[in-house]
Amino acid sequence: MKLKKILVSRFSSIGDIVLCTPVVRVLKKQLKAEIHFVTKAKYGGLLRPNPYIDRLWTFEKDIVEISSALKEEGFDLLIDLHKNLRSHRLSFSLGIPSIRFNKLNLDKFLHIKMGINRLKGHHLIDRYFEALKPLNIEDDGMGMDGFYVSDTKELTHRLGIKKTYSAIVLGANYFTKRVPKSMIEALLRAESTNQFVLIGGDDVFELGRDLDKEHDNALNLCSTLTLDESTAIIDSSQIVVSGDTGMMHLAAACKKPIISVWGSTHPLLGMYPYYGYNWEDLNISLVNHSITCNPCSKIGAKRCPKKHMKCLTGQPEERLIEAFDRQTKYIKKTLS
């Protein structure tokens, strides 16, 4: 049976939604089907400019707000990229066939809680495409998409960005995934002639403000940008420094050189920056391999369970400076 209308579901959050974009693109281009996507309203801005989505559905608090309208659409298939109780409820209410992926929850539990490593760094996007094999589609190797409508020239002018810059992501949903202030300050001091913009939400506004005051080459944009504007700022930056965050995935979607600093999570869990096999891997991962308690969480935590945070604070500040120098040399080489 030819699939005419497909609904893709991923309700949150920023990084997880960006990770869905290769699936959306391939479904549209290879199946020629009508593609709908459902997510929470606050993340709609990530997908609204996406040309591979024919209709975006959003809800504020619960999927029941739009479940009746979704049922009237007559979808042929639900591709559930969230795989939780809420998405199962959606599948039940629609009464249509569904495809879900392997979350590897048991393997992650064994690795985090018991130190039994059965993970092979198999990326989440690869698992998505494994689940979609029955549809006879293939990953096109082009990685993730980061679309936006903001005018970068107007935006950077309005924000007072007057020269080439790199971005530092201060925020993260969980404290144990944030780049330590000491590492950021060391980078700002070492690269005093380079401009840096600081990105994050309300929770790191004060940190951004303090860094802005203390360092002439830092510009605090925390709590001032929309998701669309954040994507534009990242896309026009040279290098992006970030923890394991949604902004890190947006940077990979924009094919930017990344320095990813890992705390309570780990690249081995399969959520590292993904460029696709038709693109060069532009990421440098900084992981503290000298400790045995990392990773201690698959999504992050509000505090370190051992109360020392050595996964982050135990990483020498010089590692970030050296990685930035490597990425800078790479950019100069590619431009020459």
Q: Is the pLDDT of residue 105 over 80?
A: no
Residue 296 lies in a domain: yes
- Return the sign of the alpha-carbon dihedral for residues 258, 49, 208, 245: negative
- Say if residue 255 is in the same domain as residue 187: yes
> Which pLDDT band, with edges at 50, 70 and 90, does 281 fall under?
very high
More confident residue, 117 or 285: 285
Q: Mean per-residue pLDDT for 9-13? A: 95
- Say if residue 27 is in the same domain as residue 85: yes
- Say if residue 63 is in the same domain as residue 97: yes
Given this model, what pLDDT does residue 62 score? 92
Say how many domains are in the chain: 2
> Which pLDDT band, with edges at 50, 70 and 90, does 83 fall under?
confident
Share of the chain above pLDDT 90, in %: 84
- Say if residue 263 is in the same domain as residue 179: yes
Given this model, what pLDDT does residue 298 score? 86
Listing from the earlier edge strand, what are the strands of the sheet with 165-169?
218-220, 195-199, 165-169, 240-242, 258-261, 283-286
Given this model, what pLDDT does residue 106 score? 60
Q: How far apart are CA 292 and CA 288, in angstroms?
A: 9
**Nearest C-alpha neighbor of 34 from the set 18, 49, 55, 50:** 55
Residue 80 lies in a domain: yes
- Say if residue 65 is in the same domain as residue 173: no
Other residues' Cβ atoms within 10 Å of the Cβ of residue 105: 10
Of 135, 164, 181, the residue at which a domain comes to its end is 135
What does pLDDT average to over the chain? 94
Phi, psi for 34 (deg, rounded to 5): -85, 120
Residue 144 lies in a domain: no
Of 101, 135, 169, the residue at which a domain comes to its end is 135
Residue 40 lies in a domain: yes
- Say if residue 244 is in the same domain as residue 177: yes
- Say if residue 120 is in the same domain as residue 245: no
> Which pLDDT band, with edges at 50, 70 and 90, does 273 fall under?
very high
CB-CB contact of 145 with 21 (8 Å): yes
Given this model, what pLDDT does residue 84 score? 84
Of 104, 135, 166, the residue at which a domain comes to its end is 135
Cα three-residue angle 280-284-289, rounded to 5 degrees: 135
Cα three-residue angle 36-37-39, rounded to 5 degrees: 155
Q: Mean per-residue pLDDT for 166-183? A: 96
CATH of the domain at 320: 3.40.50.2000
- Say if residue 248 is in the same domain as residue 289: yes
- Say if residue 111 is in the same domain as residue 209: no
- Say if residue 72 is in the same domain as residue 187: no
- Say if residue 42 is in the same domain as residue 74: yes
Q: Is the pLDDT of residue 25 over 80?
A: yes
Q: Mean per-residue pLDDT for 203-219? A: 97
> Which pLDDT band, with edges at 50, 70 and 90, does 88 fall under?
confident
Q: Are strands 283-286 and 258-261 parallel, antiparallel or unpaired?
A: parallel
**Nearest C-alpha neighbor of 90 from the set 107, 69, 111:** 69
Question: Tokens in use for 318?
Answer: 């010089």
What are the Cα distances from residue 13, in Å, to 57, 86, 93, 154? 15, 14, 23, 28
Given this model, what pLDDT does residue 114 score? 66
Given this model, what pLDDT does residue 33 score? 97
> Which pLDDT band, with edges at 50, 70 and 90, does 141 fall under?
very high
Q: Mean per-residue pLDDT for 182-210? A: 97
Residue 146 lies in a domain: no
Q: Is the pLDDT of residue 1 over 70?
A: no
- Say if residue 106 is in the same domain as residue 190: no
Residue range(s) defining the domain that contains residue 256: 154-335
Residue 148 lies in a domain: no
